[in-house]
Structure 1
Amino acid sequence: MGTLYYGGSATPIHIEDRSLAHLKVVIATKLRRGESFTVTWTHDDERQGKSTIWVHPSIPLGFVFDDPEPPPLSREWIENLATSANSSGGIALAAEHLDDQTPDPAPQAVEVTAN
């Protein structure tokens, strides 16, 4: 289970390592371009509901992964997250749909484009 530290909040956001790795790629690309957006996720613990954060280049973020080895990345999942980041609803973090369990050998080549 990875952790996202957002802004000055002492409350960590726990996200599974593989999901966090995909989210990190999209967030880093958007912030490098100076773009702001929202990220929403459903609570998976005893809390009900969901949370949303506003991601902006001026707000500090930290990504901490439990596993020292980076997980394999899926080009399709990155593209889906990037598409949602470019929408008015922002990123809606959801579980990856795995039709094919084979990881993409070159996910770093994904171009994230703005709409």
Structure 2
Amino acid sequence: MGTLTYDSTAIAFDDRLLLHLQIVIVNKLRRRESFAMSWRDAAETGDGRSAIWIDPSIPLFFKYDGSRVPTINREWLALLAESAGSSTGLIVCAEDGSPERAARFFDHERSHRGRTPAPY
């Protein structure tokens, strides 16, 4: 299970899915294109959907748990790239086109809001 960290938000995806997302996202950002990305939430965070606006000026980090590079499915890449170029933005989906859930979703900023800072 890998993690895509975008600004203060970390989203966990299967390594193979994450690699396909990385290729699509990097291709869009190389062209300095901003776009939306949405996914189904992990079961433990509810049955909703989440979305972020991906912009070239915001830090982005891909972390893979496995050491092997997964195989690439060009048809899946084309499906993801097509959605990234549409008005709906990049919709995270499985290889068969069905909605794909994030394994985890964690927003560092939201999780620390309202807490009293620890004394130094």
TM-score (structure 2 length as normaliser): 0.77
Tell me the residue number matched to 2:117: none
Q: Which residue of the other structure, out of 12, 20, 41, is the alignment partner of 2:39?
A: 41
Q: State how far apart, in whole Å, the 1-side matches of 2:43 and 2:65 are.
A: 19
Moved over 4 A (4+): none
Q: State how far apart, in whole Å, the 1-side matches of 2:4 and 2:56 are.
A: 15
Counterparts of residues 59-70 of structure 1 (less than 5 Å): 59-70=58-69
Tell me the residue number matched to 2:51: 52
Whether 2:16 is the aligned partner of 1:14: answer no
Cα root mean square deviation, aligned: 1.2
For structure 2, the residue ranges without an aligned partner over 5 or more in a row are 98-120
Structure number with higher relative contact order (C-alpha < 8 Å, ≥ 6 residues apart): 2
For structure 1, the residue ranges without an aligned partner over 5 or more in a row are 99-115
Deviation for aligned residue 1:46: 1.2
Count residues in correspondence.
Answer: 96
Q: State how far apart, in whole Å, the 1-side matches of 2:59 and 2:24 are.
A: 16
In terms of Rg, which structure is larger?
A: 2
Give the structure with the higher percent strand: 2
Q: Percent identity?
A: 50
Tell me the residue number matched to 2:116: none
TM-score (structure 1 length as normaliser): 0.80
Q: State how far apart, in whole Å, the 2-side matches of 1:21 and 1:27 are.
A: 10
- CA-to-aligned-CA distance 1:7-28 (integer Å, 9 cap, x gap): 1x1x421011011000000000
Tell me the residue number matched to 1:88: 87
